[in-house]
A and B are shown apart, each in its own frame.
Chain A
């Protein structure tokens, strides 16, 4: 027996829904967005950057999607889906009549081919690991099988997934960019250049790409959601320094500075009423933290790690970045389901911290190193942490390095402490599981993994697996309860000192309409192009 589920109630709302308030959307016009870095690729199997994440969402679609401006799941290319009682078989019914930009109708075969392509090692997709729950993953990922045995298309309108274990995050994975559907014949014809000549089913199609200068996206008139998108087109100009982009916003030449307000200009913008009126603020599924390598002294002692948690004055660090964040007391950000609301966290108490250090056998403190990324404001934050640590006798030398070098040191386990700013975890999808495996689980605590604390608690890993096996939406609350417990145990073991949850601050020109949440969309990061519109 199967049960029909239309949408999940799993996801919580980050912000008010984008639509249904404010003015009615208008059609037409061209929006101009700038980014500093070039857009590397628009291939959904490859792209994993700040710039291209949301552009890919506009050009392609997946079986699942989110309500614009929120973290609420909704069906996308799938009209509906069913889940078997054992939680192992998902059957998706495709929306009929959806066409690729080249005019061909999208079928179930395309879905199967697209997901097999991501798992195929030759694609070199950074998203390969997300599909581990599908049957036959190990063989397909190792290149021993041509595709996943657990995915099939019984007819042109149906896709069936067989999982090797029940997994409550599966629907989120089906909404990730890596699951987006691509037309086989175009990918095969373009080869590695597909990322520069993308063809999808999305609301916009790529009309022009002048390398290093601009990309122009044009409305797809045949888009399967009628009336969407609102804009006729949007132009992305790359190679624009955030400071320069800000000047252009002031002059009305740019609608949205894609990289947000540069930290150095924040006070200036906020204290000018004309500019402050254009500012949009939003939360994001992000936590900034200090990792402590639990495998090496002195951080192998839990007392020392707790002492660090109590030594750091988070309120002052939030001041250092001009209040662009909220102090954090646990790994999960407040808007993530599973966040423990009544948890107080470690208090800021240098006295008690010093006592803990003495108990651990370090009455006079010790010398260590704090790694941080070398772009503003991270060195300043590292200095604030350094001062706090000095107050309890820990002398931390700051190693301020380029991002790639910090990531390397973290992965290799050679960094005793790392301030995660600039590389901090932003959730791939709005589920507590996404904050555990790679950064706190044993799987990530390997050479080169992103679990920089090298924290591995097998009992917690087992508990996480148990939580993710709960796929019945009726038991969603119970699952979140387990996740909450897991993160509380993490705080007990204290491999991290959570510091803050960063808020996003960006701007939109006065002529742009739509809910603010679209411009700080927690899923379509950074801007939801499909639902933005021009008022006049």
Chain B
């Protein structure tokens, strides 16, 4: 087990190195010049060249990348080109908001997805099942922007139940978490449905029914705990999905997370911020996957870590 974890950690480090390299290459070949963004439209060619030299952007690619890695292993993510603030400080100020939203959204996803999946399984083949599965298709394919604005319009503008965007209280959290929860619940409801169907066919369920237990008790006490396990393992992978999909929801709701930071940095070619956000997201994905893999054998003893 320990050897496995160690091996996976080394693999993870290599993956992160790869991610940093690929991102750095992409930003290097991008036909957009960060120095122009810093120098602005009124700068003389001399000013532009002087800034390029000071940032080391006149150096060959290998030197730039080596410098970045050298600073990175010393815990230095650099300073934003445009804000001049340390990237680490910018990330730290925004990470709590993203993590909070992620946890709340996963909670919503599970709550909605598992409930609907279970109901669909119990009503298998009937109109309710078909309706729920059609619904899961719709939510999986619905654009975040539209759902977010729809919820905002109905619950904040029309009904006035929640604030229109922003951050700070539990009320602010509800709509963004619900948006992500509704959109993500489709996957969970489908997996939950098939998992539930498998379990319901199992011998121990037939036994439970045979010894005269009520339907509700069989479903909630015997079937549900077993059906839920494979779904939980998906959460780790979901963390990765969130890191890439949270940008839109963060901008609609004015949620001050790292997605918003990344979006603004990309538009202005602020390379240190883009690198920083990419590395933090990649780390989250790698850790999420690692946790999912470590949890799997606890859920299903047939899975062995090798």
Contacts and interface: CB of A to CB of B under 8 A. Distances in A.
Contacts of A43: 84
Given A121-B47, A211-B94, A239-B255, A129 B152 contact: no
Contacts of B45: 446-449
Contact of A192 (B33, B84, B160, B252): B84
Contacts of B30: 405
A41 B83 contact: yes
B164 A212 contact: no
Name which of B43, B82, B163, B264 has the most chain A CB atoms within 10 A of its CB. B43
A512 B160 CA distance: 23
Given A124-B54, A192-B85, A411-B36, A213 B41 contact: no
B269 interface: yes
A126 B83 contact: no
Contacts of B269: 404
Interface residues of A, number: 58
A243 interface: yes
A14 interface: no
B267 interface: yes
Contact of A212 (B32, B36, B94, B149): B94
Nearest to B160: A251
Nearest to B266: A402
A428 B42 contact: yes
B268 interface: yes
Contacts of B149: 243
A251 B46 contact: no
B112 interface: no
Contacts of A121: 47, 50-51, 54
A130 interface: yes
A195 B84 CA distance: 8
Interface in A120-168: 121-122, 124-130, 132, 141-143
A17 B141 CA distance: 53
A128 B44 contact: yes
B152 A213 contact: no
A126 B42 contact: yes
A253 B251 CA distance: 18
A428 B42 CA distance: 9
Contacts of A192: 79, 84-85
B274 to A, nearest CB: 12
A268 interface: no
Interface string B16-51: 000000000000001111001111111111111011
Contact of B165 (A41, A142, A212, A240): A240
Nearest to A449: B45
Contacts of A465: none
Name which of A121, A212, A238 has the most chain B CB atoms within 10 A of its CB. A212
A122 B89 CA distance: 23
B258 to A, nearest CB: 9
A127 B254 contact: no
A241 interface: yes
Interface string B151-164: 01100110010011
Contacts of A535: none
Interface in A357-412: 402-405, 407-409, 411
B256 A213 contact: yes
A477 to B, nearest CB: 27
B83 to A, nearest CB: 5
B218 to A, nearest CB: 47
Contacts of A212: 90, 93-94, 97, 256-257, 260-261
Contacts of B240: none
Interface in A401-439: 402-405, 407-409, 411, 425, 428, 438
B65 interface: no
A428 B82 CA distance: 19
A251 B264 contact: no
Interface residues of B, number: 56
Nearest to A126: B40
B152 A122 contact: no
Contacts of B44: 128-129, 132, 141, 443
A105 interface: no
B79 A126 contact: no
Contact of A404 (B36, B40, B80, B255): B36
Interface string B86-109: 000110011001000000000000
Name which of B31, B42, B97, B260 has the most chain A CB atoms within 10 A of its CB. B42
A402 B32 contact: yes
Contact of A239 (B38, B41, B164, B256): B256
A407 B267 CA distance: 12
Interface in A24-40: 36-38, 40
A241 B261 CA distance: 14
Contacts of A450: 41-42
Contacts of A93: none
A127 B149 CA distance: 40
Contact of A126 (B39, B166, B252): B39
Contacts of B153: 247
Contacts of B267: 402-404
B68 interface: no
A99 interface: no
A48 interface: yes
B36 A448 contact: yes
B169 to A, nearest CB: 13
Contacts of B82: 40-41
A46 B44 CA distance: 15
A41 B40 CA distance: 14
A355 interface: no
A267 interface: no
A438 B41 CA distance: 8
A237 interface: yes
B278 to A, nearest CB: 17
B260 A143 contact: no
A127 B165 contact: no
Interface of A: 36-38, 40-41, 43, 46, 48, 121-122, 124-130, 132, 141-143, 192-193, 195-196, 210-213, 237-241, 243-244, 247-248, 250-251, 253, 402-405, 407-409, 411, 425, 428, 438, 443, 446-450
7 contacts: A126-B47, A129-B43, A210-B256, A211-B89, A237-B254, A241-B252, A404-B36
Closest 5 pairs between A and B when the two form their complex, measured CB to CB = A126-B40, A404-B32, A212-B256, A211-B93, A129-B44
